Each structure stands twice: as C-alpha cells, then as structure tokens.
Amino acid sequence: MSRFSGGRHVLPEPEVPAGVVTALGIDEQIGAFEPVRPTAAPDAAPNVVVVVLDDLGFGSSSAFGGPCRMPTADRLAADGLRYTRFHVTALCSPTRQALMTGRNHHSVGMGGTTEMATSAPGYTGYRPRSAATMARTLQANGYSTAAFGKWHQTPPSEISPVGPFDRWPTGEGFDHFYGFMGAEMNHWSPLLYEGTTPIDPPRKPGYHLSEDLVDHAVDWVRTQRTMTPDRPFFTYLAFGASHAPLHVEPEWPERYRGRFDEGWDAERERTLARQKEMGVVPPDAELAPWAEGVPHWDELGDDQRALGARFMETFAGFTEHADTQLGRFVTALEELGELDDTVFVYLLGDNGASGEGGIEGTLVEHRLGHGIVDDPAEMIGRIDELGGPASYPIAPVGWALAMNTPFQWTKQVASHFGGTRDGLVVHWPRGITDRGGLRDQFHHVIDVLPTILDCAGIPQPGSVDGVAQKPIEGVSMRETFTAPAAPDRRRTQYFEMCGNRGIYHEGWTAVTRHGVPWDMVPTGPRSFRDDVWELYDIRTDFSQAHDVAAEHPERLAALQELFLIEASKYQVFPLDDRVTERENPRLAGRLDLLGDRRSITYHGRTRRLTEETTPNVKNTSHSVVADVEVGGLDTADADGVVVAQGGRFGGWALYCVGGRACYVYNYFGITVHTLRAEEPMTPGRHEIRMDFCYDGGGFGRGGEAVLSVDGVKVAHGTVDATVAYYFSFDETLDVGVDLGTPVSEDYPAVGNEFTGTVHTVRIDLWESEDGPDDGGRYRRIMAAQ
C-alpha cells in the first residue's frame, strides 16, 4: 500500500464533521464527541533542519577542501553525505525561493534578487500562490515551523508596518520568525523582526548577530520539544555570514593570521590538492582558467597584498565563527535526543563566493555598487578596522575565485560552476547508513523540497489553501541516501542570472558569460546576441577547464537550442542584465508603494521604513520639513535626531545638538557634509526645513542644501556628490531617532532619540517626469516663495 494512501493532497486537510447532536442536554447525549485535533504528521516523520550559509563557494569550507575551518560541517559530513555536484542559482533570493518552492527561480518570479525585481513575469519578486513553500506544506502536515536569520524573499514594497504580510515568513508557512528581511545585515547593529514586529536586539558588549540567531533557534526547539514532543519540527536557519559585511570579533581572524600571505594563486593550488585527497573532485580535475582582468598575487603591490591577506583572514574567521555557532544548535539537538531523527540539510552557500568586492576589496561594500573604488593606500591606514563596527567590508574578487576552486568565475555568473556549484551536506543517521559517503549525482537546489517530502512520507500537494498547485520541478534525492551509484535523475538544468546563462544536459554544459560581477554600474547596452558560447564535456572535464566549442559545433548548437526551449518554459525571457539600476524601483519599472505621490507626511515615532517604502530623495531636488516642539525653560530639550535615513556608510539626517538645528549628508562615509545653525532654538514649536537643490545632468550629481528654521535661512552649503541608487540594504528611515548605525558622529549610536517632540516630518520631491530633475523647476518654486 502506498504510504500516501492517507490523502494529504489537499492542504489544509478538509474538516471532519464533529459528530451528531442527539440531545437537548449533555446528560442525554448518545455517543461522545471527538475532540478537535490538528492535522498530525505522518507516523515516524523526521524533524527537518535546513541551514544556509551565504556567499561561500565550493572551495571555501574545510568539508570540501577549503581553508575555512568549519568543524560543524566536518562533523555532519563525517556522519552523513557530501554532494559534490550540487547546484544553486548564482544569487541569494533566487536560490532561496527555489529552495522553498522546489521550482526554478524564474518559475516563481525570482529571476534576480527582490531588490532587482521588474514587472516581467519571471522577475516580479512575487511567489505565485500555485507554488506553496516547503514551510507551508510541512506546517499543513502537522509540523511546527520556525525560521531564523536572512529571509530575502518578500517584495521590498511590502516590507513596511502596513504589509501586506502574506509574503513575510509567517505568511509563508512559518509559525515563528526571528531575523532580517533583506539581502544583508550589520552584525553589530542589526535591525531585526520577530514575526512582523520590528525589534531592537540588546546592545550588550560582545553582541553578534550569528550568535543571537542560534540562541533563538535553540530556545525555540527546546520549547517546541517541551510543549509538543509528539510533533516534528522544521527549522530554517539562514545565516548572514559569509555575505558582506564581514563582521566578526578580532579573535576569529587572528586564528588565520599569516595563513593567506602567499595569496590567492597559491591557495587555489593548495585547495585543489586537498580536494583531490578528500575525493570531492576527481584525481584528474584541473584548475579552471583564471578570470580575465583579475591580477595574480605577484602582480600586486605591498599594500594590496597586506590588505588582501587581512580581507581573507576576516572572511575565514567570519565563516568559522558562524559554523561554530551552528555547532551549538547541533549540540542542543543531540542533548534533546533529536539529532539522529532529523533530516539535516546544510547548504554551504546560496551561490558562489562573491566577486562584488572588485579588484581591491572595500571597507564599505556599497561604494563599489556605485562605481567607487577604495584606494589601497587609504585602506591600509584603517586595516585594523576590518571586521569591526567602523567597517562594512567585502573581500577582493581574487579571493572569491580562490574560494570557488576549482571552477571559473563567481557569484552572479550562472554560466559557470564558480557561480552555481556549492557543497551540500546531508545528515540523517536514521536514514543514511553510508556515513562519510560522497555522492556525485548532478542535483539542483529545487531538488531539496521533494527530497524532504519524500523522507517525511508527505505527497506533493495538489491544492494548498484553495489554490491548485503547479508541479514541483525538482526531483527527490532520497534514493542516493542508500544507493551511492544511483543514476542521475536530473538530466537537464538551465541556468541564468543577470544575462549570464548556461545549460546542462547529460554530461555537457554550454555556457555564455555576459557580464563581470564587479562591474555593476551601467556602461551602456550590451547585446545578448553578441555573447560568445563555450562548450564543456564535464564527464571528463570536472571543472570546465577546457572549452571544446570549436571541436563540437553541432553539439553546441543543439545545446543552445535546448537553452531556448528551457528558458521559454520557465519564464526566463526577456533577459535583463541590469544590476544596480534595478535596485531603483522607478528605473526597474516595478511597483512603487508611493505611486505618483510627490509629498508624504510622517507623524512622530514612524520607524523602520526601508528605502522602497519612502520617497526617493536621490537624483532630484527635494525638501524635508519637520514640525518639532522644544520643551522646558531653555534649549536643553532640543537634542537628538528628528529624522534620519541610512547610516554610517551612507545617508542623511535632520537633528539637533545643543538646541541648534543641523543637517548632514553622508556620502558613503567618504565625505560628510554638515550644516549647523549658529543659534539654538527657543522653547516652543518650530519648523525645521532643509531644501536640497539638485544640480541635475545625470545620476549621483551634487547640489546645494539650505537649512532654515521658522522660514529663516540658518545655514547652507554644497554637497559635491550624492548617492545615486541606494543608501543601504539594511538601514532604514526613522522619525525621532536614528536606529542602526548613526548617519553622523555628532550624536551617539544608541540613545539619540529627539528630546523634544516631533509632530510631523514631510518630504516633498520636486522631480521632473522625465527623470532626474535639473533643478530648474525647484529654483523657480523657491524663488517665488
């Protein structure tokens, strides 16, 4: 008899009649009533844990021969299985959406990150209801569910106090959520949510986000086992590590001091040797070609090498620290007696290691996204800040290439395995007897969901919450748990990201790289028709080291045609190679929460508004008008932040110091322009106004800022350049306080609330309909006042 014979194809399961009422009073009732019980999980259904590390790369972890010591990955691999041909999508959100739904990322609207969404069908950022998540399916089958850490699957326009919340974790099948919603987070000063409620974690000495996430995950599992020990649980733990910013206490990088002084070329050789010794690559595997335009270690200057080594020490320490925290969670499962009956899926990366740090690396990640390259001579003077709260670093691309050993290229480059192949560890003592085994079957992240359902004895649902489900596109990997030589079930798989694309079919890959990950600022259109395709026979060429397109033109043509078929099937077209531009909703053409409004008024204590839910003050003239009240007999109550957007690494703020109104514009932490009134405000109600007259002529230009109090100009100055596309992925707009990191060092990071009363803050945009304002309309309006 099928183990699915009990149903479960319609979720939630239809209600069962409670019984027949036969009497006026309970004393005369014939037949007892059955208590209402929630749907129970199938008999012997295991617990499920899915852990995702970020931006890691196939050659990073010690479990796959890399230099980053990962004791928890090593432990789980030694007692479980390592998959050597497991693939992801080459970017964060798409991999996570594919993981949660078992469908290809374009099929579920996630052709790029949520911040890169457009209105094209495969790129909207909206998961269709016909593709229920892993969490919702397990939840409806009797599992307790919780998510911790990075989510990055909710449309940015919906991350606000007004929602809607059905695409937040708790709306997508998780009973509990504790973590952050966007691409990355400051690990020293995170802005987090519990459920849908913003919270501020304790600012205690030694706080670190990775430790906090594991603390909460451990507490939740312990509580779940205490309260409902008969109910299996699903825990999703997605670390911010090892994505930028590389934040970790100095003791962890110190463990690697001097370890990387020989550079990335030598590290590639060492890693490949270890990989061969471990058997995670074939004995004849070769290093794939080095990426064009990236210098070799011996071509760098002394400062560049010193910085490069410190960047890698920080990355390795950050990674080991996260994996060590995970070890505390594994230990907790073991102490509860649950580890042996838990399907533990550990993804050692959601894409390849990131090349977005550029040639030099940077102390502030978002500078590179706007085409700003840090000078090594300046960075070397701040080398000891790397990893600390004064930095927001990402490592140079040379290390990304080394962390993707033995493959070519990096994150974003879906054409080559450097962007799409990551290590996978599966641990389940009850279901895996080949402890420490290797598995070489070709698999993709969409295969995780059907594998978990298979292990739990749960069928793929036909209907969820009243919506017919489209077929899951992944295949189960469970057969490989007990059959090392099981044949490949995934014979074909397309790849696409940012115009980089490829196709795998029965041992061959045809690929074409369209762009360079560290060139994210637009330099003009590039035709997809001009891209050059490469061909690799990965039956004999594990690492895509030898392009054989010239020897097999017919096979290449056939695979190119197959890519067109698969891409059409899964909503890949039209291809879109924009990166930074798509992070501006107007340029991307996606839903703008504010619509056509050019003015919005916030009332006091409005907090935690992401950039996509606020007026876009970039590249246009604008005004910020605050109605504040100063109390008391003197000016002592007029201190603190009136309104702020962004933080230490880019943003602006209106605030008061000693009763004096101030305005600051922080340009990526490079230049900080500050206007200060000379005289303090008197007690009572006042209007503080900042008018910014944008120079126009393109994106990221400068302008003139004028600060006024009660209609009288009190300060003015020139801002040489402005942030063109985004201030931050993790900071917010806050009224009456600056949460996260401070935009200005004039006020403290904690305890910067405005000491008076902020009644309202109004933001007015003077934007032309044709693009960035030239300032002319604004000047005419101001002149008429």
**Per-residue pLDDT tens over the stretch 67-126:** 999 999 999 999 999 999 999 999 999 999 999 999 999 999 999 999 999 999 999 999
- Pick the range with the lowest mean pLDDT from 37-46, 249-258, 664-673: 37-46
Do residues 81 and 343 make contact, with C-beta atoms less than 8 angstroms apart? no
Residues 6+ apart with CB under 8 A from 752: 640, 641, 655, 737, 738, 742
Burial status of residue 562 (CB atoms within 10 A of its CB: 0-12, 13-18, 19 or more):
middle
> For residues 46 and 30, what is the distance between their CA atoms, to the nearest angstrom?
39
pLDDT band at residue 585, thresholds of 50, 70 and 90?
Answer: confident
Tell me the average pLDDT across 148-163: 96
pLDDT number for residue 587 = 79
Angle among Cα 572, 574, 576 to the nearest 5 degrees reads 95
> For residues 476 and 727, what is the distance between their CA atoms, to the nearest angstrom?
42
pLDDT number for residue 717 = 97
Going by C-alpha positions, the residue among 228, 165, 219, 217 that lies closest to residue 195 is 165
Each residue of 559-582: pLDDT tens digit? Answer: 999 999 999 999 999 999 988 888
Burial status of residue 490 (CB atoms within 10 A of its CB: 0-12, 13-18, 19 or more):
middle
pLDDT number for residue 596 = 85
> For residue 5, is pLDDT > 50?
no
Q: DSSP assignment, residue 54?
A: S
Each residue of 395-430: pLDDT tens digit? Answer: 999 999 999 999 999 999 999 999 999 999 999 999
pLDDT number for residue 774 = 46
- In the chain, % of residues over pLDDT 70: 96
pLDDT band at residue 771, thresholds of 50, 70 and 90?
Answer: very low
What domains appear along the chain, each with residue ranges and CATH number? 47-245+262-283+300-504 (3.40.720.10), 505-583 (3.30.1120.10), 594-784 (2.60.120.200)
Where are any strands of DSSP class E within 428-466? Answer: 437-439, 443-444, 463-464
Burial status of residue 336 (CB atoms within 10 A of its CB: 0-12, 13-18, 19 or more):
middle
pLDDT number for residue 586 = 76
> For residue 635, is pLDDT > 70?
no
pLDDT number for residue 34 = 84
What is the dihedral sign for C-alpha 202, 204, 209, 212? negative
- Pick the range with the lowest mean pLDDT from 210-214, 313-317, 631-635, 657-661: 631-635
> For residues 635 and 282, what is the distance between their CA atoms, to the nearest angstrom?
73
Residues forming beta bridges with residue 392, ordered by sequence position: 364
Do residues 643 and 651 make contact, with C-beta atoms less than 8 angstroms apart? no
Taking the C-alpha atoms of 733, 738, 739 and 740 in order, what is their torsion angle to the nearest 10 degrees?
Answer: 100
> For residue 290, is pLDDT > 90?
yes
Q: How many CB atoms lie within 10 A of CB 638?
A: 28
> For residue 784, is pLDDT > 50?
no
Q: DSSP assignment, residue 41?
A: P
- Pick the range with the lowest mean pLDDT from 43-52, 192-201, 771-780: 771-780
- Give the predicted TM-score (pTM) of the model: 0.95
Determine the number of helices (DSSP H) and then strands (DSSP E) in the chain. Answer: 16, 29
Tokens matching residue 554: 């017919």
Q: DSSP assignment, residue 759?
A: E
